Amino acid sequence: MLTVETRHAIDPRTAKGFDTDALRANFHMGDLFRDGEIRLCYTHYDRMIVGGAVPHGSALVLDEVRQCGTASILDRREMAVVNIGDSGTVAAGGESYGLEKGDVLYLPMGAGPVTFDGAGRFYILSAPAHHAYPARLIRIGDAKKVKLGSAETSNERTINQFVHPDVMQSCQLVVGYTQFAPGSVWNTMPAHVHDRRMEAYLYFDLAPDARVFHMMGEPDETRHIVVKNEEAIVSPPWSIHCGAGTGSYTFIWAMAGDNVDYRDVEMVGMEQLR
């Protein structure tokens, strides 16, 4: 079963007037992972698609998505799939790939229908593409690791870069995930914005009663959204994106836009935040 929701782009002036329900309706993505279903959110932020697939004993095939306007989703798109569950397989382009938890699979434009099987919980990210780069299965040992933050500021973390220029080529997708040292709860702090690229976060590995307070909005007009396990946030290019958890968690970050330069950001000083 395939379900697709469309999210239109929101400008910062409009977002200033949103209450909690409106913020969640436009930027929060919950219920992405349902047993036996593929659930997608087609956003108008650089046409990024964010979604989940949970085979749950029966293979699921992702092929035509009407919102893409093509016969098959990857006719003019690339895709990254992150397994956040148990062992599973993803098949496309005549190849089958076994994904353990934490593995990332890149699929190029033209790879055809995508089949999900096994016990995996597959997080799906897709953006328009202009070239067919080789498919690649990237395991945690192949990722580039960047260590940032400190215990003193509660943001000691390791950024694992998978679909990234230092690891492999892609058209515009940049994907990885961040893991924290014990006791650290702040992600992406100090905050930043990058007007040339949108971003999406998926928070997972949270305890059932844990929450992340995700911060968004213009630096001097911040808002927050409360997120539980396996829920995502779409972040407009004009918005900061950071958060703090009540316990341990991991988050997957993904970007699309004008470039794949991870360093193309505008830092936000603490004195700018309101």
Domains of the chain by residue range? 2-272
- Do 201 and 235 contact (CB within 8 A), yes or no? yes
The annotated binding site for Zn(2+) is made up of 192, 194, 199, 241
Residue type, 250: T
Tokens of 271: 């004195």
Mean pLDDT, rounded, for 75-96: 98
> Would you say residue 144 has pLDDT above 90?
yes
Query: Residue 263: is its pLDDT beyond 90?
Result: no
Strand partners, 200: 234, 254
Longest Cα separation, the chain: 53
Cβ(223)–Cβ(23) under 8 Å?
yes
Type and span of the H or E element at 18: none
- Give pLDDT tens digits for 62-83: 999 999 999 999 999 999 999 9
Residues 203-246: pLDDT tens digits? 999 999 999 999 999 999 999 999 999 999 999 999 999 999 99
- What does the alpha-carbon distance between residue 55 and residue 68 come to, in Å, rounded to a whole number? 23
Positions at the binding site:
192, 194, 199, 241
Per-residue pLDDT, 262: 83
pLDDT number for residue 46 = 97
The Cα–Cα gap between 191 and 269 comes to 8
Task: Tell me which H or E stretch contains 61.
Answer: strand 60-62
Say how far apart CA 199 and CA 249 lie, in whole Å: 18
Pick the CATH number of 2-272 from 3.30.300.180, 2.60.120.10, 3.40.50.150, 1.50.40.10: 2.60.120.10
